[in-house]
Amino acid sequence: MTRTRTVTVAPGVDLWTEERGAADAPPLLLIMGAQASGLGWTEELTDALAARHRVIRYDHRDAGRSPWTFDEQPYSIPDLADDALAVLDAYGAERAHIVGLSLGGMLAQLLLADHPDRILSATLMGTCALSQKPLVEPDGTEIAAADLPGVAPHVLEMWALPVEDHGLEAELDRRVEHWRVLSGDELPFHADEMRERERLIIEHAGRYDVSTAHGRADYSGMDRTEELARNTVPVLVTDASAEPVFPPPHPRHIAHVIGNARLVAMPGMGHALPREHLGRLAEAILEHTAAATAAPAAS
């Protein structure tokens, strides 16, 4: 059963939220990336997780059906982490599992560092570590955090292109091409499927223009090097071989600098949720959350 409601996170800012699954199941919060609607979490993956969890997904401020208010009420990226906590509060979730993708993975790290008592487990996907500690490879080689590879040049070129209004179908064309580039070139890209997903997201939002708020928000004050090193909450990090935004070895760096973190390989996966890996992702996340839930009970 799917239920929706709005959650107030600031004066005049009511976020769209949705929950599905048994009301008494362990809560699991899905945190999407920049400018992305909560509907970016595919129905297949959301339903698979809802078989064992009360799954909550939501639209950030300036995304999806939530209000677009940045120009009148500017905020920082850490404020978006506070929003995630407010969503958990509204649903009465004292502790929850969290899954974050891209910017959502950064917000998940802020929650791990600042509110570990609220987190049962975390899964981080397609993101970078909020840590200045170097990556130490198995052979002892050190790679400074600042020297890890950046966004692939062809992705930066795409992001530099102006987004112009040429109508709904042209915007769908642009979004499909955007996801084609982000998906990498190691797995088949299902353009028709992605187009339909984006059409549903546009219908959900009631608009097809694109906000730039999350790119303009303040990213300062996000370093959590020491707090993440002390982390004891179980953390799962997806190691996507075709990731073009935070390419390898970023996943290994995350798993190295965050305490109690481990990797799970996702061969061929890029900066998206490919059909070919949805079952594997759901299985990995559910195994991770089950182990995290059982550990406190066992102790």
Distances (CA, A) of 54 to 6, 21, 210, 283: 17, 5, 30, 16
In a domain, 182, yes or no: no
pLDDT tens per residue, range 47-86: 999 999 999 999 999 999 999 999 999 999 999 999 999 9
Please report the pLDDT score of residue 299 as a whole number.
Answer: 38
In a domain, 97, yes or no: yes
Please report the pLDDT score of residue 12 as a whole number.
Answer: 92
Is the confidence at residue 223, as pLDDT, over 60?
yes
pLDDT tens per residue, range 3-46: 999 999 999 999 999 999 999 999 999 999 999 999 999 999 99
What is the CATH number for 223? 3.40.50.1820
Which amino acid is present at 197? R
What domain range is 142 assigned to? 2-151+214-298
Nearest CA to 218 out of 84, 73, 113 is that of: 73
Is the confidence at residue 149, as pLDDT, over 50?
yes
Long-range pairs for 266-269 at CB < 8 Å and ≥24 separation?
A: 266/238, 266/239, 266/240, 266/241, 267/186, 267/241, 268/184, 268/186, 268/187, 268/240, 268/241, 268/242, 269/184, 269/186, 269/187, 269/238, 269/240, 269/241, 269/242, 269/243
Q: What does the DSSP 8-state code read for residue 117?
A: G
Phi, psi of 203 (to 5 degrees): -65, -40
Please report the pLDDT score of residue 296 as a whole number.
Answer: 58
Please report the pLDDT score of residue 1 as a whole number.
Answer: 76
Kind of pairing between the strands at 54-58 and 27-31: parallel
In a domain, 95, yes or no: yes
How would residue 298 be classed by pLDDT, with cut points 50, 70 and 90? very low
Higher pLDDT, 49 or 210: 49
pLDDT tens per residue, range 81-137: 999 999 999 999 999 999 999 999 999 999 999 999 999 999 999 999 999 999 998
In a domain, 156, yes or no: no
155 C-beta neighbours (distance < 10 Å), count: 17
Please report the pLDDT score of residue 25 as a whole number.
Answer: 97
Please report the pLDDT score of residue 294 as a whole number.
Answer: 82
pLDDT tens per residue, range 1-15: 799 999 999 999 999
In a domain, 190, yes or no: no
Nearest CA to 40 out of 125, 128, 101 is that of: 101
In a domain, 166, yes or no: no
Q: Do the beta carbons of residue 285 and residue 49 sit within 8 Å?
A: yes
Please report the pLDDT score of residue 131 as a whole number.
Answer: 98
204: enclosing H helix or E strand: helix 191-205
SS3 88: helix
Q: Is the dihedral of CA 70, 71, 77, 82 positive or negative?
A: negative
Cis bond before residue 249 (omega within 30° of 0): yes
Q: How far apart are CA 260 and CA 245, in angstroms?
A: 24
Distances (CA, A) of 273 to 1, 180, 212: 23, 12, 22
Please report the pLDDT score of residue 236 as a whole number.
Answer: 98
How would residue 297 be classed by pLDDT, with cut points 50, 70 and 90? very low
Q: What does the DSSP 8-state code read for residue 71?
A: T
Nearest CA to 231 out of 77, 91, 124 is that of: 124
Please report the pLDDT score of residue 72 as a whole number.
Answer: 95
The total domain count for the chain is: 1
Measured in whole angstroms, how far is the alpha carbon of residue 61 from the centre of its chain?
14
Q: How far apart are CA 84 and CA 126, in angstroms?
A: 18
In a domain, 194, yes or no: no
In a domain, 222, yes or no: yes
Number of helices (H) and strands (E), helices first, in the chain?
10, 10
Lowest-confidence range among 96-110, 121-135, 260-274, 282-296?
Answer: 282-296
Sequence-ordered alpha helix ranges (H) in 246-274? 250-257
Please report the pLDDT score of residue 207 as a whole number.
Answer: 97
What's the average model confidence in pLDDT over 150-163? 95
